[in-house]
Amino acid sequence: MAAKPSTSLISALKSFATCDIGDALIKLKYPYGGYLDGISMFSPEYMGGPSKIFGEAITIKMVDANDKQSQSLSKHFCDYNEAGKIMFISQPCGMYSACWGGLMTTRAKYLGAEGVVVDGRFRDILEQREMGFPVFARAVSILGSNGFTRASEVNVPVQFKDDLWVNPGDYLMGDADGVVVIPASHVEKVVEFCTERKEIDDQTFAALKNGEPIGEAIKRLRK
C-alpha cells in the first residue's frame, strides 16, 4: 500500500480540475486516465456550477439481493461514511433500481461526507438538491434498493471496468466535467504534471487572446 501523500501535496492536487488530472494520468499511462466514464454530477446541479468534491474513497460493494453466498455488513452501509471522505458505491451492472436516496444523504451529511459517487442509480433527486449534497451517478430511478440489491462489503477494491479499479484510500475528484480516481501512489507525479501544464495553458490562453492561431500556439508552447 502506497504511503499517504503529504498535506501539501493533497492541497495542491485539490486545486486542479478533473480535466487537468485526467490529462496527467493519461501521461502517466494510468488506465483510462482514471476517468469514471458515464458518471455525471446530478446534484447540487446537473453538470453545472462551481461545485467540486475531493476526498479519499470509502468503497461499498453491492450485490444482487438474491445472492445468499456473499457476506453481509454488520450495519447499514451508509453508516460507514466519514467526515471529509467520499463514498463510492459499486452497483451490479444492469440494475434499474437505485441504491442511494434521500434518507442516506441525510445521514451522510450528518457524518460530514463530502459527497457520493454511485456506479449505478440513485433516487430522490429533488431532495438531494434541496440538501445541496453532491451526488454523482450514472442515472436516476424511482425504485429503491429493497428486493434488488444489498451492500455486501466495505473498503474493498471494486472494479469500475477492465483494469480500472477504485480502491479504498484512492482519491476521488468530481466536478461538472465528471469524476476521476487518483491512486495515492500517483499523487506526486500528477501534481508535478498539472503544475507544469497550468503554466503552459496560461501562456497558450494569452497567445490565443492576442490572436495567435491555435495550431501555431500549441506547436510553440506544448512541446
In a domain, 16, yes or no: no
In a domain, 219, yes or no: no
pLDDT tens, position by position, 6-62: 999 999 999 999 999 999 999 999 999 999 999 999 999 999 999 999 999 999 999
In a domain, 118, yes or no: yes
Taking the C-alpha atoms of residue 64 and residue 10, their distance in angstroms, rounded to an integer, is: 36
CATH number of the domain within which 147 lies = 3.50.30.40
Q: Identify whether 50 is preceded by a cis peptide bond (ω within 30 of 0).
A: no
List CB contacts of 102: < 8 A, sequence separation 6 or more.
123, 124, 127, 128, 131
Cell triple for residue 186?
Answer: 500517483
| Average pLDDT score over the chain | 95
| Structural domain range at position 139 | 31-182
Taking the C-alpha atoms of residue 95 and residue 77, their distance in angstroms, rounded to an integer, is: 18
In a domain, 54, yes or no: yes
pLDDT value of position 3: 79
In a domain, 47, yes or no: yes
In a domain, 149, yes or no: yes
pLDDT tens, position by position, 153-192: 999 999 999 999 999 999 999 999 999 999 999 999 999 9
In a domain, 220, yes or no: no
SS3 state at 71: coil
Q: C-alpha angle with apex 129: 39 to 11, nearest 5 degrees?
A: 60
Distances (CA, A) of 212 to 150, 197, 198: 56, 19, 19
Alpha helix ranges (H) inside the chain:
7-14, 18-27, 102-110, 125-131, 187-209, 214-221
Buried/exposed code over 16-30 (b: 16+ C-beta within 10 A; e: otherwise): bbbebbbbbbeeeeb
Taking the C-alpha atoms of residue 197 and residue 91, their distance in angstroms, rounded to an integer, is: 35
Q: How many separate domains does the chain show?
A: 1
In a domain, 123, yes or no: yes
